[in-house]
Amino acid sequence: MKNGLCLILLSGGMDSATVLYWARNKGYQCRCLIFDYGQRHRRELNSAKSLAHAAHAPFDLIEIKLPWKSTSSLLSPKINIPSHPIEQIGKKGIPSTYVPGRNTLFLAYALSAADALKARAIALGPNALDFSGYPDCRPAYYQAMAKTARLGTKRGSEGNPIKLLTPIIHMNKSEIVRLGECLGVPWKLTWSCYAGGAQPCRRCDSCQLRAKGFRIAGIADPLLSPIDSL
Amino acid sequence: MKNGLCLILLSGGMDSATVLYWARNKGYQCRCLIFDYGQRHRRELNSAKSLAHAAHAPFDLIEIKLPWKSTSSLLSPKINIPSHPIEQIGKKGIPSTYVPGRNTLFLAYALSAADALKARAIALGPNALDFSGYPDCRPAYYQAMAKTARLGTKRGSEGNPIKLLTPIIHMNKSEIVRLGECLGVPWKLTWSCYAGGAQPCRRCDSCQLRAKGFRIAGIADPLLSPIDSL
């Protein structure tokens, strides 16, 4: 593993799964961070663990408890999951699935781990094209966070900055599907649906973006029956 | 409370206590965030709660569990607490009390809370003069974090950036004591000692910096007997 240790923020979705396989392919020794932040369903967490196992990567499960009242439909079952027409996703302001400060929290834990474990890099899968309009998925945010990482850690201040790798940030969903397919991502283990039922709901914003990606890439999504994925 | 809601990162030490009273004096409605991150002693946490009560400010207690092995003497009783000659404190590299990524973790929770609760500001008490040489106490780090806060939150992206207030960052310890004294900080409720015994150890770096501050300010520290504080 010529490139040293890389911590992967693994959610269980198709984007972070692709990033895990990308980092492994780059020669990094991968260790996954999986976050339990009170998601309304467990399905995503189980997918993340299965993906780490499949990639032979160890993982840490990190519990985040936010004591203030939730304003996100990903945390509170009382708020409806959004289901926009596909052309409006990410263009109607910040949706109810936004979890305040989520990516900053994930990255703060990752920075702490990277500094303690002497990791070379942190890799994660934000995407600024086929995305839901979250502020913490934009390239400028990651540039600011990379500077925070360089200045706020022991490794950074000693001349060994922890790299922040966002390899798919400028890819659309079909490009991510094609890259993941090349790298051997086991799509059947991933989970994208916000609703977390036995099968993907095929209506929520996340299901729609996933379906669009597979359709344009011309690849069948193994989570859907052949008719669904046409 | 003309200035709106301000979240205070309250540790129980004299610096963050001064910041709490400073923010109250500025007309902010204060709400404290107190972090239990596995400190080797509870004394500091109890001080923080007492200080919040004394200032009539509500508080949230946030538990942070770091699953990786600790490299900090503030977390592991197996590592000795540093006790440098006073003139060497902060000048011999990063000491063993450094907790990897600690301030980034605290700020990430604070940003999440501020975004969820629509707070106007976050105030905290880093100090870059009489300090222990931590990378995450330097002004440049807070500038990067302020940019992260502006770009990575809903409030920031909607034109209501969450202010990051570090009012004592350029003060030395005696200036902090004088400011706190003016504002009525109940010093007897604060706790600075790294060791966490029944009385301050008077040897650790933190006790020495506190003693220097009170001595130069010409104010008696009520935690010490009259002879100690001479």
- pLDDT bin (cut points 50, 70, 90) of residue B229 is very low
| Average pLDDT taken over every residue of chain A | 90
What integer pLDDT is reported at residue B1 of this predicted model? 55
pLDDT single digits (tens) B81-108: 777 777 777 677 788 888 889 999 999 9
Q: Distance (Å, rounded) from C-alpha A116 to C-alpha A138?
A: 27
Say whether A67 and B62 touch across the interface (CB within 8 A).
yes
Instruction: Tell me if B138 sits within 8 A of B114, measured CB to CB.
Output: no
Q: pLDDT grade, residue B72 (50/70/90)? A: confident
pLDDT bin (cut points 50, 70, 90) of residue B227 is low
Question: What does the pLDDT look like over B187-215, one tens digit per residue?
Answer: 999 999 988 788 899 988 889 999 999 99
- Chain A residues whose CB is inside 8 A of the B71 CB are 116
Confidence grade of residue A93 (pLDDT, cut at 50, 70, 90) = confident
pLDDT on residue A225? 67
Q: Which residue has the tokens 């209501």?
A: B160
Task: Using the predicted structure, report yes or no on whether residue A77 has a pLDDT greater than 90.
Answer: no
pLDDT: which is higher, A146 or A134: A146
Specify the amino acid at residue B5.
Answer: L
Q: What is the mean pLDDT of residues A210-221?
A: 95
- Residue A66 pLDDT class (50, 70, 90 cuts): confident
Q: Are A69 and B136 an interchain contact pair (Cβ–Cβ within 8 Å)?
A: no
Is residue A130 within 8 A of residue A86, CB to CB? The reply is no
List, in sequence order, every beta strand (DSSP E) within A19-165. Answer: 29-36, 59-63, 121-123, 163-165
- What are the counts of helices (DSSP H) followed by strands (DSSP E) for chain B? 7, 5
* Cβ pair A153:B117 closer than 8 A: no
Q: Answer whether A10's CB lies under 8 Å from A48's CB.
A: yes
Domains of chain A: 5-217 (3.40.50.620)
- In this prediction, residue A229 carries a pLDDT of 47
Query: Which one, of A184, A180, A116, A112, lies nearest residue A149 by Cα?
Result: A112
Distances (CA, A) of B164 to A84, A113, B33, B120: 35, 24, 14, 9
Among the listed ranges A16-20, B38-42, B128-132, B169-173, which one has the minimum average pLDDT value?
A: B128-132
User: Is the predicted pLDDT of residue A217 greater than 90, yes or no?
Assistant: yes
Residues B8-54 pLDDT 10s: 999 999 999 999 999 999 999 999 999 999 887 788 999 999 999 99
CB contact under 8 A, B151 and A157: no
| pLDDT at res. B48 | 97
Q: Closest Cα of chain A to B21: distance in Å? A: 23
* Å between B82 CA and nearest CA of chain A: 17
Say which amino acid occupies B57: A
User: In the predicted model, is pLDDT for residue B109 greater than 60?
Assistant: yes
Q: Do A66 and B112 touch (CB under 8 A)?
A: yes
* For residues A18-31, average pLDDT: 98
Q: A42 is written with which tokens?
A: 């467990």
Mean pLDDT of chain B: 89
Q: Mean pLDDT across the stretch A124-130?
A: 86
Residue of B nearest to A95 (CA): B154
Alpha-carbon dihedral B9, B207, A151, B93, rounded to 10 degrees: -170
A107-111, A198-202, A210-214, B106-110: the lowest-pLDDT one: A198-202
